Amino acid sequence: MNGLFRGTGVALVTPFDDRFQIDWSALDRLIDYCLQGGVDFLVVMGTTAESATLSLDEKTKLARHVVSTVAGRVPLVYGWGGNNTAELISGFESFDLSGYAALLSVAPYYNKPTQKGLRMHFEAVADAAPLPILLYNVPGRTASNLTAETTLILAQHPKIVGIKEASGDLTQITRILMGRPEGFGVLSGDDNLTFSMMGLGAEGVISVMAQLEPRIFSDMVRALESGDGDRARTLHFALFETTELLFAEGNPAGVKAGLAHKGLIAPQVRLPLVEASAELKTRIGAHLDRMAQTL
């Protein structure tokens, strides 16, 4: 895999103001906070960004704004997925992807394609794409699992360079790691499985939690990379319960509540999502305060 995509990647949220418009200054604060915390790359317009609720104009402005704010400090990945293959391909003609190093492409959702359909979809997108492709398998959201066998076929495509694996199935993930060709990277798509997946040989993670605790999460990943399992395990255990809370009422409501507790952004999400409950906000805040005092 391209060496740019190792270590800790962050799946950025899209901050909104009290009118549910993009809060550009909050986005800048969040980006700087992540980079100062030591993350290795950023992912723009993934699931955590509430991309399903953003207009094309908002996506275009956000893509350019992040490039400007980051100013080359870390590599950038742009989320480019959907369930209309032809529309994804035609979009390459007009969307400005300059400043991005790769595309993260989620498996088609709702249609529930067969494995042959998934393979042909990704091959068609990769053939047309101006950038390398990272596959994104998250069957809990898409209702279609990209099997290890299909992933390994797609790994032979010269423009498909890796996968964000969020199936939660360590047997499937192990088969991908055992069978992958040289240069095909595997990234965790589940924060609390990062420790296990990197122990099996994965290169890193695209994380939600890492934008909330970038220093701690990045330190855990670097400890794993350096072979310091004891240090990594200590940090994994410290992060574990807070990370579970972030997803208790859906993503990104939980992480936005945590970021609001830190004063970085407001907690607003767009419908059909709703803010985290007052009880969950309190619990997340308590866990974050505890980590701040102990780590």
Give the domains, in start order, of the chain with CATH numbers.
7-226 (3.20.20.70)
Q: Please give the pLDDT value at position 41.
A: 98
Distances (CA, A) of 263 to 33, 103, 132, 266: 11, 30, 36, 8
Region of 32 on the Ramachandran plot (φ > 0 left; ψ -120 to 50 alpha; else beta): alpha
Judged by DSSP in three states, 22 sits in strand
Q: Are strands 185-188 and 204-207 parallel, antiparallel or unpaired?
A: parallel
Find out whether 280 and 249 touch, Cβ atoms under 8 Å.
Answer: yes
Looking at the chain, how many residues does it have? 295
Q: Please give the pLDDT value at position 2.
A: 57
In DSSP notation, 92-145 reads TTT---TT--EEEEEPP-SS---HHHHHHHHHHHHHH-SS-EEEEE-HHHHS--
Q: Please give the pLDDT value at position 295.
A: 86
Question: 5: which 2 tokens?
Answer: 């995509």
Q: Please give the pLDDT value at position 1.
A: 57
Q: Are strands 41-44 and 7-11 parallel, antiparallel or unpaired?
A: parallel
Q: Please give the pLDDT value at position 3.
A: 61
Catalytic machinery residues: 136, 164
Tell me the pTM: 0.97
Per-residue pLDDT of the chain (295 residues; tens, 9 = 90+): 556 789 999 999 999 999 999 999 999 999 999 999 999 999 999 999 999 999 999 999 999 999 999 999 999 999 999 999 999 999 999 999 999 999 999 999 999 999 999 999 999 999 999 999 999 999 999 999 999 999 999 999 999 999 999 999 999 999 999 999 999 999 999 999 999 999 999 999 999 999 999 999 999 999 999 999 999 999 999 999 999 999 999 999 999 999 999 999 999 999 999 999 999 999 999 999 999 998 8
